[in-house]
Amino acid sequence: MLHGYKRVQTFYTLYNTGGVLSVTGDCVDMTLAEERRLREFLAKPPILLRNLSKEELSVFMTAVTHDSYSNELDQLNASRGLVSKSESYERLEFLGDAVLEFLVCERVFHNTEDTEGNMTLFKQDRVANAKISERVLNSGMDLDSVIRISKGTDIVENIRADCFEALVAAVYLTRGLDEVRRIVDDVILV
């Protein structure tokens, strides 16, 4: 049994009881090409996740879905007579932001003798959107290639950083804190 499986179940139960559709059902949520591209992305460094279940993959698909794209998806489903409320990465970003900040604080606390003020400066340097975006680009992970965003919307540093934080949450929910720590070490704390 995978670490965090129960949390993933609970995560989607909460969404479903809130009237939000998950990846399963009659609504268009992801194409086979998007699924393949996301699986390939997740299998490469620094993520290195393979053999994800459909349920786990749906968490990651949500993590790379900008609200502009989820709105377009809802309009597409409505044009087919289907009622849906597709999720964007915003809820996952909220959790991922907290997990990322915790891991950065944990690192600076355990690995330095810095004062509170210096630890705060270290944290701010690592978790500011501009710095996250820069480190994601420098890591070579090519996050931009899997971000689902509406036509005409550019991927700017805030979107890239928010999406990375959402991925942090997806890894946390599906694989646990140790896997997130490994990824954060490789991308943010290098």
Backbone angles phi, psi at 65, to 5 degrees: -105, 110
Residues 6 or more apart in contact with residue 30 via CB below 8 angstroms: 23, 38, 58, 61
Rounded to whole angstroms, the Cα distance separating 105 from 136 reads 19
- Helix axis angle, 157-175 to 54-63, nearest 10°: 160
Residues 150/71, Cβ–Cβ less than 8 Å: yes
Q: What positions carry a catalytic annotation?
A: 97, 165
CB burial string 11-29: b at 16+ within 10 A, e below: bbeebeeeeebbbeeebeb
